Amino acid sequence: MYADLLHALPDVFALTNFAAVIIGVVAGIVVGAMPGLSATMAISVLVPFTFGLEPLVALGLMAGIYNGAMYGGAIPAVLLRIPGTPAAVATTFDGYPMAQKGEGGFALQVAVVSSAFGGIASAFALMLLAPPLSRVTLLFGPSEVFWVAVFGLASIIFLLGGNPVKGLISACFGVFVSVIGSDPIYGNDRFTFGQLEMLDGINIVILLVGLYALPPVIDLLETPLKTDGINSSKLGTESIWKALPRMNYWKTWLRGSFIGIWIGILPGAGGSMAAFMSYNEARRTSKHPETWGEGEPEGVAAAEVANNADTASALIPALTLGIPGTAVAAVMLGGLLVHGLQPGPMLFRDNPDIVFGFMWQFLFGAILLVLLGGSLATNSFARLLNLPRPLLGSVIIVLMLIGVYSIHGRMFDVYLMLGFGAIGWVMDRLKFPLPPVVLGLILGGFAEENLRLALRIGRGDPMILFQNTTSLILVALTIAVIVGPTLKKRYIDSRKSA
Amino acid sequence: MPESRKSRLTRPETLTALGIIVAASGFLFPTFELRAISALLPAAMLIGLIVLSVVLLLADQRKASAGEGAAPMTKSPKRVVGAFLLIVAYALATDFIGFYVSTVVAVPLVAWLFGYRSPVGLLIATVIVVGTIWAIFDFGMNQDFPTGRFWGR
C-alpha cells in the first residue's frame, strides 16, 4: 500500500507538475492576502481552466493554492487586523499588535514557518491515514455507500454549526440540483425543460464558480477597502534564516498540528475552529498568558500552525469516502471529479500515481511556503494589499466567464453560473451554509444510484438498507451527528442554569 | 435592532422562504410525470424544501412579532444591484457582440464605476488582461471565444 506512495514520487518531480505546485503556492498567497478572496474561491475559478491539463498539474495547482492561501490570510491579519481568510481571525490577536510595535515582518515569518510546519504535518497525516481507510471502504456495498453519503451530508449540515434548518435547505437544494438531467437508470429527462444543454446534468464547476466566486466579487465591488499603508511600510523584516533561531515553538507547533489535523478530518469543522482551539490551548499552557493579545509571537504560531494543519487532513475523508471535511475540500472534490477521479477506494486502486502524487504535492507545497513566503517575498506580498479592489473584481469577472464558457464552449453555462451566483449571494448574506449545496450535488447522484441499486437487490424492500452491521453503524453515526449538537447544547444550558 | 420595515413580510428571510416555497412547488409538478422510482429523490427534496422553508418562515415571523429586527442584506443596495447588472450586461455583450470587444470595455468600465479612477492604471490593466487572455487561451490553447451573435457569427 505504502509502496505506491514511493512509486508516485518521480512523477511529482516532473517539471510541469512541480512548477504547478510553485505557481499554486504563489497564487494562493496572493489570493489569501486579499481580504474577501479565499482558497475556496480561487480553486473554484481555477477548476475550469484545468480541464485540458494533466491531472497532476491541475491537482498540484490546487494543493499549492490551498497551502498558500492559508498562509496568505495572515498577511492582512497581521498588517491590517483584517483576516484575509476566515481561518486567519485568530492570527490577528497577536499579529496586529506585533505589527504596531514594528515587528510585522517577524510576525509574518513566524506565520509562514508555522504554516509550513502545520502543512507538512497534515500532508504526512494524509499519507499515513488515507490508504488504510480506503481499504476499509472496499468492503462497502450499495446500502453502505448510500448511508455514507447520508452521513456525509448530515455531518456537514449539523456539525458546521449555525442554523440546522438553513443547512438542511442548502443540502436539499444541492441534492435537487444533482438530479437535474437524464435519469441514470431509465434515461428519461428530469427538470431539463427541453434544454439540451441540461441533459447531462449541471456541471459541478458551474455551481462552484457561481456559488463561491460571484459573491466575493460582489463584495469586492460593494465595499471599498481603505488601507492606511502604515503597517505594511514598517515591516522590519530580516532574513528568514536569521529569524528561525528565535522561533522556539516546538510544543505549540506539535499541539497545533495535532488539533488542526483532527479538526480537518472531522466533517463540517474547519480552519478557523482549529486556529481558535490551538490558540486557546497554547495560551492556557503558556507561562506568560498575560502577554497574549499584546503581540506574543507564539500566538501567531499557534493560530497559523493549526489552520494549515487542517488542509491536507480535510482530504482524508474526502478522498476515501467522498465526504469533504471543509468547504475547500468540497471544491477540490469537484476538481477531482472534473478529471474523472471518483473519490473512494477505487481511486487508490485505479489511479495510485495520481492520488499519492497529490499527497506529495501537498507536502512540497507546505515546504515551498517557507521558500516562497520568506523575507523578500513577504515584503512583496504585503504590497498586494494596495491593489485596487474594483480592478481586481473586474478581472475576476472576466476569468469566471472564460472558465465557465470553456467547459462546453457555450454561453448557456455562463447564464446558469450567474443564476447560481445570485442564489449564492442571497444564501451568503442570509447565512445559509454553502458547503452542503456542493456536497449535495456531489453526493446526491451517488446516493440515489446506490439507493436504487440496493432497492433492486432487495427487490424493492427498504429493509435491505438496515440489514448489515456496517449500515447500522452508519445509521447510528448519522443519528448521533444529528442529535449530538442538540444534546450538547441542552447539557451546556442546563449546567449554566444550575 | 428594532424592526424598521413597514411590512413583516418584506423581511429578507421571509421573502427567501416564500421564494423557495413557490419555486419548489413549481418544480414539484413535473415530478408527477416521472416514474415513481425516478421521482423519489427529487420529490423528497422538493417537499423537504417546502417544509423547511415553512419552518424558516414561521421562525422569522416569530422573531418579527417579538420585535426583533432583521439586518438588511446589504448596506449599499445600489452598488450591489449595479454590480449584478454590469456582470449580466457583460455576459450578454459577450454573447451578442463578442468576447474581446466586451472585455476591452468591461474591465475598465467596471473598475472605473466602482471607484478606481486612474486612466493610466485602467489602460495598463486592460492591455495586460486582454493581452494575457489572448496569448494564453487564443494563441496558446486555441480556445474559441464567442464572436457575437449580433454579427451573425
B123 and B57 in a common domain: no
B35 and B58 in a common domain: yes
Mean pLDDT score, A80-109: 82
- In chain A, the percentage of residues whose pLDDT exceeds 90 is 24
Residue A466 forms contact with B (CB below 8 Å):
no
Q: In this predicted complex, what is the ipTM?
A: 0.93
Cβ–Cβ of B42/A426 closer than 8 Å? no
B3 occurs within a structural domain: no
B46 and B93 in a common domain: no
Mean pLDDT score, A471-494: 84
Q: Quote the minimal CA–CA distance from B5 to chain A in Å.
A: 17
Digit-coded pLDDT (tens) for A132-150: 887 777 778 889 888 888 8
B71 occurs within a structural domain: no
B110 and B90 in a common domain: yes
Distance in angstroms (rounded) separating the CA atoms of residues A408 and A204? 13
B99 and B58 in a common domain: no
Predicted confidence band of residue B20 (pLDDT cuts 50, 70, 90): very high
Distance in angstroms (rounded) separating the CA atoms of residues B24 and A346? 36
Residues of B in contact with A172 (CB under 8 A): 45-46, 48-49, 52
Cβ–Cβ of A222/B95 closer than 8 Å? no
Strand duo A189-190 + A181-182: pairing: antiparallel
Query: What per-residue confidence (pLDDT) applies to B18?
Result: 96
B119 and B56 in a common domain: no
B83 and B40 in a common domain: no
Digit-coded pLDDT (tens) for B27-72: 999 999 888 889 999 999 999 999 999 999 999 999 999 888 888 8
Residue A414 forms contact with B (CB below 8 Å):
yes
Query: What per-residue confidence (pLDDT) applies to B21?
Result: 97
B49 occurs within a structural domain: yes
- In chain A, the percentage of residues whose pLDDT exceeds 70 is 91
Question: Looking at chain A, which residue has its C-alpha nearest residue B119?
Answer: A391
Tell me the H-state helices in A240-385. Answer: 240-243, 250-265, 271-285, 297-309, 315-321, 327-338, 345-350, 352-372, 375-383
Question: Looking at chain B, which residue has its C-alpha nearest residue A187?
Answer: B38
Q: How much is the pTM?
A: 0.81
B22 and B48 in a common domain: yes
pLDDT higher than 60, residue A23: yes
Cβ–Cβ of B74/A222 closer than 8 Å? yes
Residues of B in contact with A452 (CB under 8 A): 37
Cβ–Cβ of A191/B114 closer than 8 Å? no
B88 occurs within a structural domain: yes
B91 and B116 in a common domain: yes
Query: What per-residue confidence (pLDDT) applies to A16?
Result: 92
B130 and B84 in a common domain: yes
pLDDT higher than 50, residue B134: yes
Cβ–Cβ of A169/B73 closer than 8 Å? no
Residues of B in contact with A394 (CB under 8 A): 106-111
B130 and B91 in a common domain: yes
> How many domains would you assign to chain B?
2
Q: Which domain holds residue B107?
A: 77-151
Distance in angstroms (rounded) separating the CA atoms of residues A242 and A106? 10
pLDDT higher than 70, residue A161: no
- Helix, strand and coil percent figures for chain A, each rounded to 5: 75, 0, 20
Predicted confidence band of residue A230 (pLDDT cuts 50, 70, 90): very low
Residue-averaged pLDDT of chain A:
84
Residues 239-298 of A with CB under 8 A from B: none
B87 and B38 in a common domain: no
Digit-coded pLDDT (tens) for A401-451: 988 898 888 999 999 999 999 999 999 999 998 888 988 888 888 788 888
The helix or strand, by DSSP H or E, that contains position A190, with its residue range, turns out to be strand A189-190
Query: What per-residue confidence (pLDDT) applies to B63?
Result: 92
Would you state the cell numbers that stand for residue A280, as one nine-digit string?
486557546
